[in-house]
Amino acid sequence: MLRSQPPIIKIYEALGAIADQRIEILKDTTSLLGEMWSAKVYSSSKEKFYTITYDPKNNAIMMNDNGAYRQGYLGYPGIALLFLTKKLPLNEVFAEYLKNIPRKDINTKHNNDFDATQQEIDEKITKS
């Protein structure tokens, strides 16, 4: 059970993953349980990946990212899959602005301060 709203930066991360084509759809199958989606979403550094399974019939999503496990919010891998399954509306123009941004490096530079990371990315987008 998710306990809180994800930080806005997680939307940025999801859109960036889509723009960078870091999402590998593993299954789009119909089983006895109904339609199920599975995917791997690679980090911006491409050093690790997260696995997501989404059951649209029951509106249930399972994933192994830190936001879901430790913080209790829907992490960017899940948000990205929900964009791709059209459960969330996707604006591809916004995604393109977030293409090729080394978000993990920026976040590390700011000691995992999501607000500072978002501010730096916003400035980078504004200048381009």
Tokens representing 51 are 């696995």
Q: What is the pLDDT of residue 66?
A: 83
Q: What percent of the chain has pLDDT over 90?
A: 61
Q: Which CA distances in Å does 23 have to 33, 38, 41, 99, 107?
A: 24, 10, 4, 13, 21
| pLDDT tens profile 45-99 | 888 999 999 988 888 899 998 887 788 899 999 999 999 989 999 998 999 999 9
Average pLDDT over residues 20-25: 94
Q: What is the pLDDT of residue 4?
A: 83
